[in-house]
């Protein structure tokens, strides 16, 4: 059963095309990561699927209906990128307030326990640290026993321990058959939870594949050098960028590329090899023929 679907969806904000012909679907019980650099369109896609915004073109569906129809959202849980919590309410009170909106919520203790919040129950939310507030905001998405949960960058600002405790809560929900869509800038974060990852960049889906396959795509190296001659065709070269007298070559296998440079007798100096950032890898993929 498909729980959330976008078909050829585009969304424009004035002159900005935030999503450009996106197809995306999530089956019941899946845990999917949406990966992409800043401004890729991740939050926009989530906002369309949960009915906060409408697509400019195309069709979106949630739990078999229109996401803007409250009936489709009855079993939805969401943690947006930023959440406002009433500062003077205690953690336990906020949880009870949210639980009261649902017919069959988790008990207060189940929720506190799952997300490692038990010690904070009597604390006012205004006095929580940023990380503690974030954990509470994520936990609240699960209060109503949702069937599908959207988490927009759930672990931003969390330390390692808090992140693990939050991941455990998400895993427990998924193990019971829950569906999860989470967004992140980091493949490592998605890797910790999901097997499937959808890569967005510039509003388009670049890849929809296993985390392992995408790791191969983005785990590239940048080989920089200065050479007085034009480069020949080199195997495994993904892209070439020229900045003044430097050439920056992107490749999945830097050793092989350097061997090829030597084998072709290419004169070079000041060779540097370093890992690419996700942004650089995305940029190269966006401009490579494979992404066209």
Ligand X SMILES: Nc1ncnc2c1ncn2[C@@H]1O[C@H](COP(=O)(O)OP(=O)(O)OP(=O)(O)O)[C@@H](O)[C@H]1O
Residues that bind ligand X (CB under 6 A): 13, 16, 18, 36, 38-44, 185
> Smallest distance, Å, CB 6 to ligand X?
13
For residue 267, what are the contacts with CB-CB under 8 A and spacing of at least 6? 227, 228, 229
Tell me whether residue 8 or residue 16 sits nearer to ligand X (CB atom): 16
Tell me whether residue 29 or residue 39 sits nearer to ligand X (CB atom): 39
Tell me whether residue 43 or residue 155 sits nearer to ligand X (CB atom): 43
Tell me whether residue 42 or residue 114 sits nearer to ligand X (CB atom): 42
- For the record, the structure tokens of 274 come out as 């370093």
| Residue that has been written with the tokens 């097997």 in this structure | 195
Tell me whether residue 133 or residue 185 sits nearer to ligand X (CB atom): 185
Q: CA-to-CA distance for 193 and 2, rounded, in angstroms?
A: 20
Tell me whether residue 38 or residue 104 sits nearer to ligand X (CB atom): 38
DSSP characters for 22-40?
EEEEEETT-EEEEE--TTS
> Smallest distance, Å, CB 202 to ligand X?
9
> Smallest distance, Å, CB 287 to ligand X?
18
87, with CB counted inside 10 A (0-12, 13-18, 19+), is: exposed
- For the record, the structure tokens of 213 come out as 């396959």
Q: Edge-to-edge strand order for the sheet containing 57-62? A: 16-27, 2-13, 57-62
> Smallest distance, Å, CB 234 to ligand X?
33
Tell me whether residue 163 or residue 185 sits nearer to ligand X (CB atom): 185
> Smallest distance, Å, CB 252 to ligand X?
24
> Smallest distance, Å, CB 42 to ligand X?
3
Residue 267, φ and ψ in degrees, nearest 5: -75, 135
| Cβ 185 vs Cβ 40: under 8 Å | no
> Smallest distance, Å, CB 286 to ligand X?
14
Closest CA to 200 of 212, 179, 184: 184
> Parallel, antiparallel, or unpaired: how do β-strands 246-251 and 237-243 relate?
antiparallel
Cα angle for residues 57, 61, 63 (degrees, 5° grid):
170
């Amino acid at each position: 059963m498909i729980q959330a679907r976008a078909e050829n969806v585009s969304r424009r904000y004035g002159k900005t095309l935030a999503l450009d012909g996106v197809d995306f679907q999530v089956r019941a019980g899946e845990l999917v990561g949406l990966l992409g650099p800043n401004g890729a369109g991740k939050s926009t896609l989530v906002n369309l699927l949960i009915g906060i915004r409408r697509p400019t073109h195309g069709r979106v569906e949630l739990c078999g209906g229109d996401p803007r129809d409250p009936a489709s959202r009855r079993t939805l849980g969401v943690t947006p990128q930023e959440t406002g919590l009433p500062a003077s309410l205690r953690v336990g009170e906020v949880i009870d307030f949210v639980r009261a909106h649902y017919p069959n919520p988790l008990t207060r203790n189940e929720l506190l326990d799952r997300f490692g919040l038990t010690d904070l129950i009597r604390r006012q939310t205004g006095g929580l640290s940023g990380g503690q507030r974030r954990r509470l905001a994520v936990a609240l998405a699960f209060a109503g026993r949702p069937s599908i949960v959207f988490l927009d960058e759930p672990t931003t600002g969390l330390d390692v321990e808090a992140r693990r405790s939050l991941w455990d809560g998400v895993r427990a929900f998924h193990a019971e058959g829950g569906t999860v869509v989470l967004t992140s800038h980091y493949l490592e974060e998605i890797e910790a939870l999901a097997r499937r990852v959808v890569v967005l960049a510039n509003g388009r889906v670049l890849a929809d594949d296993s985390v392992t396959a995408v790791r191969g795509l983005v785990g590239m190296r940048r080989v920089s050098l200065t050479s007085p001659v034009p480069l020949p065709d080199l195997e495994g070269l993904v892209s070439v960028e020229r900045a003044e007298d430097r050439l920056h070559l992107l490749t999945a296998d830097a050793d092989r590329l350097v061997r090829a440079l030597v084998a072709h007798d290419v004169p070079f100096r000041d060779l540097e090899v370093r890992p690419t950032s996700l942004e650089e890898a995305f940029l190269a993929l966006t401009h490579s023929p494979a992404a066209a």
